[in-house]
Structures are given as C-alpha cells and as structure tokens.
A and B are shown apart, each in its own frame.
Chain A
Amino acid sequence: MDLLIELFSEEIPARMQPKAREDLKSMVTQGLVDAGLTYASAGAFSTPRRLTLSVEGLSAESRPVREERKGPPVEASPPAIEGFLRTFGISHPTASAHVQSLLETPGAVELRGVRFEDRLVKDRRILFAIIDRPGRKAPEIIAEVLEATIRTFPWPKSMRWGSGSLRWVRPLHSILCLLSDETGAHVVPLTVDGITSTNTTEGHRFLSKGRFPVTGFDDYAVKLKRAHVVLDQAEREAAILQGAQNLAFAAGLELVEDKGLLTEIAGLVEWPVPLMGRIAEDFLHLPPEVLQTSMKEHQKFFSVRNPRTGRIEAFVTVANTETVDHGATILKGNLKVLGARLSDARFFWDKDLRVAKAGMGEWLEGLRPVTFHNKLGSQADRIARIEALAREIAPLVGADPEVAARAARLAKADLRSAMVGEFPELQGKMGRYYALEAGESPEVANAARDHYSPLGPSDAVPTEPVSVAVALADKLDTLTGFWAIDEKPTGSKDPFALRRAALGVIRLVLGNEVHWSLREITVDSLHVAIEQHFEKRRASLTRQLINDIDEARRVAKEYEAAQAGELTSSASLWKIWEKIDAEGSVSKEAAEEMAQAYLAREMQVAFQTVFANGESLLAFFHDRLKVFLKDQGIRHDVIDACLALPGNDDLTLLVKRAEALAAFLKSEDGPNLLQGFKRANTILTQAEQKDGVEYSFGADIKFAETDEERALFAALDAAEKAITPAMRAEDFPAAMAAMATLRAPIDAFFTATQINSDNQVLRRNRLNLLHRIRAICSGVADLTRIEG
C-alpha cells in the first residue's frame, strides 16, 4: 500500500522547512515501524503552504507480536512475584497466590490477557509472562501515528489560532491522508482539533482556484503542478537557478551563485518566476559586497555581475506568480524598493568615506567606550594588546613589525563605521576599502579584511605575512584573555568560540609553516594582557591618590600592615608617604611610585599564574590539534607519540613528525619494526627493573657472538649516521626510512640470539645493544605510545 499525507497550512517560514521535512518523515515512519508496520521507501516534501509525506510499500497490517518476559523463580517470595505482576498492571491481592498455586503443577495461567507459565531454565523453574498482541490494520495505526505526530511536532516556534488549542507553526487548515492499493484509494479517517482528514488539497494561492481530490502521490504531484505548485524543493531550486542563469546569460552577464539564498527563496515560493532588473547607474560605484549584502539581506535578490567589469550591475528577484504583464509591475515595484535601500547604503558609504579619508581616527576614538568584555576592557584595550602581540609575532612570519602593528591598530576600525553598523557581516571587508581610502598600504588594508580568517573549515587561511601576524595576534589575544579570566570552554558550551580561535591558530601556523614556540608566544600574550591590566589600574590608582589624600593615607597604612613581618622592605613606600604627609599634598611622581609599590605584589601573584595558564592553553591547543589531525586521518596514538617528545609546542614540526610517522606505520616495514622495537623495549625494561640499573653503557661489538648480532651493530651504526643529520634537518621521512632499515637486522637478531644468556657479560652487552635500539627509535617519536 502507498500512503500520502499532506498538512496544509498558512505560510511556513522558509528556514524551518528543511528540518520539518526530515521530522515529518522520521516521526511518521518511526511511528509506523514501532507499531509493527513495514515500508519500502519514504519521501518528504515542502512548499511554503504544505508539508507532504509519501510512503511506499507499506504493509497492510502489523504482524502479530509475541512478547516474552522473564520473571523471578517460581519459588520466589510472594513480594517478588507480586512485583513482577505489577509490571503488567495486575495487583489483585489473590493474584500472586493464584499464580503460584497453579504453577505447583506444570502448566499456565492467564490473567488480564497475559499468560504466565513456568519453564525450566538450568534446572530452575522460572516464571515467564507471555503477551500476544494481535496484528492491527494499517489505517488504524496511521491515524494514531499521524495525530501524535501533529500534536508533538517539534517546530522551533509554534502558535495557537482562533479558539483552538492545537499548536502548529502557523494555522493548519487541512489534512490529506490517503491510503491506496490495487482496490483504490481510501481516506484514512482522523480528526485533529476539528480538522478532519480528506483526499483533497488546493493549489497556488493566486493562480489556482478551489480544492481538488487526488488518488495517490503521482496524481497529487501532477495535479499540483497543473495548479501551479512545484512540490519538490530541489526542483524549485533547480528551476530558479536555471531561470536566473538564463536571464543573466541573455544579457551578457553572470549570476553570483548563493546556495543559502537559493534554498531560502525556494522555501518562499510555490511557483518560482525569476525576473531580472538593472541597478541604477548612481549605485554602481558602491563596493560589490555592499550591493550584494544589501540586496540579499533586505530584498532576497541574487546579484548579477558583469564579467567584463567585475561589477555587480543587475539583480534577479524571484516572484511567486505569473502575471498578465509578465512581471513588469512586479519588477517596477522591486526596483523602487531597491532604490530606497541602496540610497541608504550610499548614504552610509559617503558618510564613512569622509571618516576614512581623514585617517579613521574618529572610529578608533569611538572604540574606546565600547566594552569588549567587562573583565577584558574595551575594544580599544583589546586592539592595543593585539597591536603589541602582532609586533612580536611579525618577525616569526616574515612581516615587518611596524607594518604589522599598524595593521593591527587599524584592522577593527570599521566596527564603528555606519556600513558595518547596518551590515555586521561586512566587517573587515569594509575595513579594507576604508584603509585604502585612508592611504594605507595594500598589505595593511588586506589585513583588515583577512585577520578574522579562517572562520570556518571552508574559509581560506591568510598567507600575506602582515595578515598572518594580525590574524594570529587577534586569535591568541582572545584565547589568552579568556584563559586568564577563567572563561574556558566546557562541554558543549563555548560562548566565545575559543575552539574556533584555537583551530584558527593551528591552521594559520600549519598553512604558513610558521616555526615558533607556541608556549613562549602564549606566555608573551598573557604578559601583554597582565601588563595592560596593571597599567590601567596603576593609572587609576595614581589619579585617586592625587585627588584624595585620605585615600593615600589609607593605602600607606594598609600596605604597611600587609608588609609587617615580611622580608620585603616597606621603607620606600613609607618614605614617600612621610614626605606626602609633611607636604600635605600628593605629587604626581609620589603617587605613581606609591601606586607602583602598592600593586607590585598583586602583579607578582598575577604573573605567577602565567605559567600554569600557558600550559593549560597549550594542552587545549594540543587537543584541538588532535581533533584536526584525526579529521585528516592521523590516529590519536600517533599524535601522542609525537607530543611526548620535546619541542611539541612547535606545531609545524609536530605535524610534520606525525605525518611522517603515520606514513611509516602504513608502510610494510612500519608495523614490523614497531614490533621489534616493542620487544626490545619490553625485554630491556624488565631487565632494568629486575637489575635496578639502566643499561646505557654502550654495547661493544667485540662481545658479539652471532653474525646476526654483529649485523645489528653495523645496521645501528649506519642508521644512526643517517638519522642524526635527517633529524637535524627536520627531514622526518628520511629519518623514518633509515629507521626502517633496522627492521630486518632486528628481526634476525631476535630469531638467532637469546638475550638472557647465562654469560653475564654477553647478557649485559646485549641489553646495552637493545638500549641503542630504544634510543635511536625514541629520537623520532615515543613509539611506546603507538597501539598495536
């Protein structure tokens, strides 16, 4: 049998349709299956006014189901028997006695539709309950499942309407529920909150009139199309894309594709009719991003580009109807609205250009009072930190420190521009235009645009050195800042997107092969933040001391008390104070000195947290790196093996090492050498534990007995000669290749030679030889951490 369901309502928000299709499909099919029906396939569809589900190959009735449940032993205590009976809703006082007595002779008893019998299980008589559920007809099940689906549908937001109590995304008007087989189509009867199921639907709101009956899915889809409704979202998307491309092509232009917009528009129309219009000449000088964003956000227009000029010169709007004038009135109206919108955009652009041409000082000033985070200061404070950090990072990425610092200072200026105020998604993009207008160099301007990147997995990593420096500084400042105030991500909570920031740092470092000590740079960043914090406190305390001599007196007393009994001398502060007291006023120098001394200890404490925070942040980076490398197919134990070696805060080096190791383990020699290494390591470790010595005296070839032993000596010498320079040159593949040559000699050695010889001299020498294997292999990675 085939089932067709349509829930017809007032306009469903476009953004909710994809999930609603999935939910309808999964809730109904799951419900049918849970009730014992089977089906071959199911497909869900949506338009702005309907949610539709087609289920094919549905069984006509559910199979009878027998459920068996094992209970307590027959001779169990009455409370145990009663407890078991209660799970079937049987609680009659005599029931348990009834069961027990009947079971004294083998047999069965039936109570309230449940059959109880005893069976021998491993020589014990155990009580079993058997419930037989007869098969049920499909329509009965469908009606139940559909009603439950409608009543519990997980819309992100739902509402009531009229006098009813049913909730749906918008008023629900009709339910089509039709079951068809060879004998014909039958309405599955159900009524939900006064809406009774039928076999009818309606077409397009304006291009079709009245309701019409359907006989099944194919008939439904065909009749809908005749009634100007394209049922399938994918078909509407394809029609829109094709229509829009054709319009653009015919005018010698090209459509700027936008998948998200396409999906949204296809959810707003039942009968898509693309129409193209030209943007008025007065607006063509606006940056393409501005035209595109304004048209998309406000009007849901596609942008159309002139391939010769690269400019956005036209748009495509998608109407939901065909008109007698072929869309002329619709296009005229849309052009009028666009004119008003772009006039606004042009007003913002002109206003911003005046500020940009004057050097953007007004915006930088405007960022002072804007709070970034109440514990991390204003946007201006943040920019100052990023500037300091960018200056330090610059030489490590091949950028000029002063240029990087300037880029960092200006990179966020556009946050105060009118255009970004209106369209926040243009941040950075406008910054680039405005920096160029301000006469900044292209590399400074590009950094304004690129320093937010990479934002997501598909976002490219900046490569211009100045952009890289600012992008790294921006993300590191965010990470160290929130680390310092203990706002670390926990579980699914990451309100400041710190995981994304850490991944951004990782991708920037790897993408540009940056070699640095992440530990050092993190500590530097933490220092910058602490210094800035205390500088601000020092300044405000100084002001306070100058203005309020009583406060100065209090500070001096408190300081003296705190210092009492401690080694540190409070003499200097006290001397300053005595002078102040004598003069009856506080000079600027004295106040500064006093503030400095007062905050010194607190600062010391703050700096002591730097190391711990740096380590914990580094561990966070390593975690993110593991996730990142896992996605690239590198196993976590391989990463652990590399992380265990010194220099693990140079991520570029670390990843090179991990990649080489992963490749090595996939080679033929890899797993065998690993076995050899592990064997050597196990024997050696056991011997070392037993003997309480470390066998690292150096093995001597003159005690070698077998050819295999001598061959291993030679192989180790040769490998060492190759590995040492390769490691120095960070040529890990070469080092691993050299290590791979050890596989055969090690295998041969273990086959031919017994380590624990009775001859203690030979034994010690062999253990020392094993130590060489361990030392050579461990220089590349900590192979003990590799699984298998």
Chain B
Amino acid sequence: MNKSKLFTIKNRQIDWLFRKVVLLAALSILGLALLIAWELFLHSKLPIEKFGWSFLWKTTWDPVGEIFGALPFLYGTLVTSLLALLIAVPVGLGMSVFLSELAPPWIASPVSFMVELLAAIPSVIYGLIGIFVLVPAMRESGEPFLKQILGFLPFFQGPAYGVGMLTAGILLAIMILPFIVSVSREILLSVPNAQREAILSLGATRWEMIWIAVLPYARSGILGSVFLALARALGETMAVTMVIGNRPDIKLSLFEPAYTMAAIIANEFSEATSEFYSQALIEIGFMLFGVTILIHALARLLIYRVTAKTEGRI
C-alpha cells in the first residue's frame, strides 16, 4: 500500500470517529432532558403513590404529619403569574409597537439593547429591589391607595402588609417585560410591509394601521410571546420568594401573603428532614417541569405559525 492511500484511509477513520463523537455529544443533550424527567419522577414516587391526584387539590401542608397538598402553591403561582401578564402584556406590547413601528432606527437599536440589559439583571437582584424598595412602597402608599379607590372589590381588601401576591405580580411583570418586548418586536418586524402600505393607501392613520393591519396579522405570534413569558413567570423563584410573604393560604385579596411552587422548593428543600417530605417537594418540582414544557410547546407552535405564514404570502 502506498503512502497516499494510507493517508486517505486514516482520514476516513478520523472522519468516522469525529462524526460519532459529535453525534454522541448531541445525543447526550437528549439524554440529559430525558434523565431530568426520569429522575424527578423517580424521586417523587412516594407521594405520587400515596396521594395520587389528590395532591393537586388538597390544601394541607403538614411536614410533621406528612400530609401534603399543593393547591395553595398552585394558586399562588397562577395568581402571581396572571397578574404579571395583566400588567406586562399591555405595556410590553406598547413598547414593541413603539420600537417596530414608530421609533427611527437610531432610537430603536439602543433602546432594544437596554431592554436586553433589563433581561440580563439576575433574579436575586430584582428580589433585593423588591424587598427594600417595592415592599415598603406598596405598604405605605401603593396598597392604601388601591384600597381607597378600589376597596369595594374583594381583591383589594385587608391589611396592607407590603409583601403579598400583588407585590410579587408587579415584580414579576418587570422581569418578564424584556421577553415580551423582544419576542413581539421580532414578530411585528416580520409582518410584511405590503400589509402596512395597503391600509395606509386607503387613508388610515398610523394608529389604525397598527390596530387593523399589523396587530391582527401578528396575533398568534404575540400570543406565543405571552406564553413564553408565562413559562418564565411560573418558574421564577428568587424574586418571588423574597416578596410573596411565604404563607400557604388561599385568599381572594391580592394584598394577602401567599406561596408559590418555586418558592416553597427554594425555602424548604434544604431543610426537608424526612425522605417523604423532600419527595413531596420534588413532586412539586416535577409538576413545575410538566407545566413549563406544555406552555413552552404551545408558545413555540404559535410563534412558528406566524413566521411560517410570512414566508408563504406576499
């Protein structure tokens, strides 16, 4: 065998090896995702077997008697996340409309960069701001003010503690804003210009153009960005733990302290004394995992639909 042939064979072997190594790395990611799901399931088996589905609607959380129900945490998570969406979606949408439709590029690009900075601030720093700025502000002025003008509603009653679902919702809103802004800005930019020009040529004002021609076109993509933000909000841990008040109650008033799924894991996991107790906490984590996967898949599907549509039509 001559030398050049040997060279070719050697290279082919290396090529083969290279492919296999790279494939292995890629497959290990798949394995990692499956492993996480499997380990979480395996280590929450005891409470799953003991409580079954009743874990979802029982309200007792008694580590000493080993009776666990996750409803207060589900409720707290849901209320704070929805509250955050209620605040963040209109404001975030307003900003992304401003960035994509109104602002000239020399304003839009630095401002988008600043929004990314907002996303880069770690959650524990939001929590710090929450404890020392937002909570006192809510206690002394925000909640009394709300009670004065909206106190007839059951949502705004009771003593103003400062900590509670409302404060957590506001803080969460600030944290998910960057995601809504950056994703829905991308979506709005992908709306074809023909859409805008057509309605402007009919004599529409700028706002009518946005309201009639741009936003409906981007509707499902924007919904996708909202779901993406929701997935963030549901799993957000540190900032919420620091301002929610950590009390496993189900109360209608938004001023009341509550608890979220992520918060109880953060607070009690390293102190869980018995195996059953820590497995109950892991089951909450498993639930959190399942819910985020579901919402994330829905969000991807919605965003994919808009971007696919744009490529198809004009």
B is a partner of A = no
Q: Which residues of A contact B (CB under 8 A)?
A: none
